[in-house]
Amino acid sequence: MPKTNSETSKYPCGVCSIGVRYSGIICTGSCSQWYHGGCVNISDKHLKKLTQDEIKTWTCENCKTSMTAQNGSMSELTFVAIGEAEQHPTSKTPSPSGYHKVKENRNTVISDLELSLSAVKTKVKDQEGQEEDDLETSLALAAEVGSLLLAENLELKKDAEDLSTRNSALEAKLAELEATLEDRTEAEEKYLQKIEESGRKLQEAIAQIAKEKQNRQELQNFYEDHDTRQTLIFDEQANKILELEQIILNLKREKSGQRDLLDKNQQDSKKFKNVETQTIQTATAYTITPSSPTPVAQELAKLEKKLDCM
Q: What is the mean pLDDT of residues 184-188?
A: 90
pLDDT at 53: 72
Share of the chain above pLDDT 70, in %: 61
Q: What is the mean pLDDT of residues 127-139?
A: 55
Give the per-residue SS3 of 28-76: CCCCCCEEECHHHCCCHHHHHHCCHHHHCCCCCHHHHHHHHHCCCCCCC
> pLDDT tier at 249 (50, 70, 90 boundaries)?
confident
Classify residue 219: in a domain, yes or no: no
Tell me 20's DSSP state: P
pLDDT at 88: 40
Classify residue 114: in a domain, yes or no: yes
Q: Whole-angstrom Cα distance, residue 74 to residue 71?
A: 8
Total tally of structural domains belonging to the chain: 1
Classify residue 196: in a domain, yes or no: no
Classify residue 272: in a domain, yes or no: no
* Range in 49-63, 81-95, 155-169, 231-245 with the lowest mean pLDDT: 81-95
pLDDT at 19: 78
Classify residue 121: in a domain, yes or no: yes
Q: What is the mean pLDDT of residues 165-191?
A: 90
pLDDT at 125: 59
Residues 25 and 40 sit within 8 Å (Cβ to Cβ): yes
Domain boundaries, position 129: 24-186
pLDDT at 134: 55
> pLDDT tier at 52 (50, 70, 90 boundaries)?
confident
Classify residue 156: in a domain, yes or no: yes
> pLDDT tier at 280 (50, 70, 90 boundaries)?
low
Give the predicted TM-score (pTM) of the model.
Answer: 0.28
> pLDDT tier at 181 (50, 70, 90 boundaries)?
very high
Classify residue 218: in a domain, yes or no: no
Backbone CA torsion sign across 155, 157, 161, 163:
positive
> pLDDT tier at 71 (50, 70, 90 boundaries)?
very low
Classify residue 227: in a domain, yes or no: no
